[in-house]
Structure 1
Amino acid sequence: MIWEKLKPPEPDDRMCCCECDINQCRCCCDCEDLDEAFSRYEHCDETCPAFGTMMDNMKISMIPALLLLPLLLKAAALHYLLGIIILTALPGLVLSYYYATHRRKRRTLFFLTLALYSLAYMYYLFITEILPRGDVSPLQTFAVTTGMILTIVSLIHTKRGPGFVTASLHEANHQQMDAENELTNSDGCIQSADSEKTRKHPNSTKWTLCPVCKIMRPPRAGHCRTCGLCVQRLDHHCVWINSCVGQANHRSFLQTLCVFVLTAVYGISLVLRSLCPRQYLMTALFYCPGVYSQPSTALCFTCCWYSSIITVGLIYLLVAQVVNISFNVTGREAQLAVRNKKGQSRLWGLVIDTGEYSRGFYQNWVEFLTMTDSFMSFHSSPTDLV
């Protein structure tokens, strides 16, 4: 019973205050009354015009954040101690500003806008400050520019949609299964192979009813609270792209991570070689004599640290994605396995191996790279750039 109170909520379940009392593990309130109170609060803008107008004006609340970012980086470039303080406090400042301005929004462009602006600002400094120093060749500049373009193109492709589940998907699946049954009934060998596959993976064809959307969804699909829809082979909802990562865009999401990480690491190495030509790359980021003698070099060095912090976080995300794919586990499935105390922890807790869909390293990657966007023509939507 204690675990039932401490377990994390399933992505398809509604949050309950009874799961929040960690110390006493007791029900702290009447959930129905709490839901009603929150419902009145969320719809306050319908009865309070002033509050609704204020929240509508929050669309321009990103402007102060975009203006403060370069100012904070310039302030961090004044002294290395000031840089340590500002860069350490910057994540907390970003989250504080987000909760103060965008907390109530289900989907928000806050993190996506901040990421794109940071990327553009780093490239701007590279062109205006590093390129005139003459230490970067045209070929190297072309490589960085190409990496930037490929990152944005991959991001746009990722934003085309994760593969939402609709009612027509279940009907289309029935039609396909009927056609396959007619084919397999005429060939005993194919029917025997299919029965063997079903025996090994009994859950591979099981459709379930979403308790929120009230529609039938295919195996490995999940309901996203943020988007409010079910997604095929749901991995997670990424706030940095303001979209879910699912069957239709998981490969392009991984591609975006790879291209960005390679471009960021290469760009940081070029900047450090230009600022600290006599230092090794591994030591230049920690010790670069004379870099604070000029404001421009100090700013570029500070931005190297800023980019390195972001890159390290994305490298961790990339490694986690690669490991999950190698075990054929999605982020949602790992969360459910932890909740239900199923699966085994692998690689020092980096992945939760459920063993339900894994067919070996090679076959798992073949399945990931060749998985088709099933019945996407029934529910495709135009490019979702926001």
Structure 2
Amino acid sequence: MKKRANRELGPDEPLCCCEYVDRLGNRSHVAACCCDCEDLDEACDRWLKKEPQKTDSLSRLVAVVADRLRVPWFWGGAWRIDLSVLPPLLLLPVFLHIAALHFLLGIVVLTTLPVLVLWYYYVTHRKKGRTLFFLSLALFSLGYMYYLFVTEVFLRGDVGLTQLCTVTIGLALTLASLVRTKREPGYVWLHSASPHSTVTYHNPRPDRDPAHTGHDGAIMANRGSASEKLGQGVEQRETGWSWCSVCMVDRPPRAGHCRICGICVLRLDHHCVWINNCVGQANHCSFLLTLILFLLTSLHGISLVLSSVCPDQNRLTALFYCPGVYNRFSSALCFTCAWYCSTVTVGVLHLLAMQLCNVSYNVTEREARLALKEKTGRSTCCGLVVDTGIYLRGFWANWAEFLTRELPARSPKLTDVV
């Protein structure tokens, strides 16, 4: 049978809600998801003939499936669904329901689940690729835990309307802060007029010439254009500015290039996979606020759930000893979710402690990793922070600089240039 060729998109012909432009630039329809699939036909033909598959056959098949997996949308055509979004939505409820069947299954599942997430994190971190898996897991966990809290705890009358409103407000504030965090970390744009960090050097590096420092000990940064600096032969060690050969921009002090996002960020701290975004100068404060709001909401929700399923036990000891909780499946499911939230809360608490220590020592996560690699810093606070000694001004001065520094001007979204 002759295969039907996809129509090319006309310049003035809009897409309907079920149409889209595929990865080859052709106009296609969601109903034709199983049509004209040469890669799948070739793979099945080789499998039936017991012939070895080509080296790139699996990757091409995954690319085709990912391109055709779409949902109809009202404007702009059908939206593409990222494959990394689906596993949390499908596997998390299944794992939690299995863990609620018996306490031994709960131990196995709640031990295996963090191990699998950490394994996937190291795999994606080594490949330096963007993924929506962790953001999808975080958002779906929040939504699913709130759904169980309303249906299994509130509707049974174990908590009042005031407690429900408190949890709801905490969840809403957490999501609002997360949206603010994801807006922009503070990109170094090519068209910007010499963007610079508001944080100055207060202690010069040992290999710097004291003649290049100001009267107050701060290293004066040359704010000339990139072409002027290249023409004058200005080096990174003398000014603190650096040239990014990937973004083709002149980076101010403490800015760094994110290999995952593929763009330079002002005062880059790290790339957080849980928000699928960088943490930099413009969103670092809102990132800390998101962690704090999540911790307060999670601790309050866990306390309410434990008081519901284990009313005769102390809330601190109920998490480890709650007799009879597995006699009813709904109580066991709530208890399992409380354990799951506790595991996530411990991880977020560790992240928040590291961030607070870094801010107190005026060091970013990126600078700490570089200092450990180059052996120019020392570990303090039981290994939570690496003191580089370059920007340290004192506890209160460091926090005042962190909270009052000037934010960069609003620039175009990353999706507009990538």
Q: TM-score, normalised by structure 1?
A: 0.76
1:129 aligns with 2:140: no
CA distance in 2, matches of 1:322, 1:256: 13
Give 1:169 shift: 3.3
Distance 1:343 1:95, change over 3 A: closer
Q: Equivalent of 2:396, from 358, 362, 384?
A: 362
Contact 1:102 1:108 in 2 (8 A): no
Q: Equivalent of 2:274, from 228, 240, 248?
A: 240
Distance 1:170 1:285, change over 3 A: same
Give 1:225 shift: 0.5
Over aligned residues, Cα RMSD in angstroms? 3.0
Could you say which residue in structure 2 is the equivalent of 1:169? 192
- Deviation digits for residues 6-64 of structure 1, max 9, x if unmatched? xxxxxxxxxxxxxxxxxxxxxxxxxxxxxxxxxxxxxx69xx85453145358245334
Could you say which residue in structure 1 is the equivalent of 2:64? 53
Alignment of 1:1-386 (within 5 A): 50=61, 52-56=63-67, 57=69, 59-60=82-83, 62-94=85-117, 106-171=129-194, 195-197=214-216, 199-201=217-219, 206-374=240-408, 376-377=409-410, 379-381=411-413
Aligned positions, number? 320
CA distance in 2, matches of 1:301, 1:172: 51
Determine helix, strand or coil for the equivalent of 2:317.
Answer: helix
CA distance in 1, matches of 2:371, 2:195: 30
Determine helix, strand or coil for the equivalent of 1:284.
Answer: coil
Contact 1:170 1:217 in 2 (8 A): no
For structure 2, list consecutive stretches of 5 or more residues without a partner in the other structure: 1-55, 70-80, 199-212, 223-238
Give 1:108 shift: 1.6
CA distance in 1, matches of 2:141, 2:306: 18
Give 1:279 shift: 1.0
CA distance in 2, matches of 1:332, 1:101: 18
| 1:306 counterpart letter in structure 2 | Y
Give 1:143 shift: 0.7
Distance 1:166 1:269, change over 3 A: same
Give 1:132 shift: 2.3
More helix by share: 1
Determine helix, strand or coil for the equivalent of 1:171.
Answer: coil
CA distance in 2, matches of 1:361, 1:331: 17
Determine helix, strand or coil for the equivalent of 2:264.
Answer: strand
- Deviation digits for residues 296-351 of structure 1, max 9, x if unmatched? 00000000000000000000000100010000000000011001101221112111
Give 1:167 shift: 2.2
Could you say which residue in structure 2 is the equivalent of 1:14? none
Q: Which has the higher contact order (CA 8 A, sep 6+)?
A: 1
Distance 1:173 1:65, change over 3 A: closer
For structure 1, list consecutive stretches of 5 or more residues without a partner in the other structure: 1-43, 177-193
Q: TM-score, normalised by structure 2?
A: 0.70
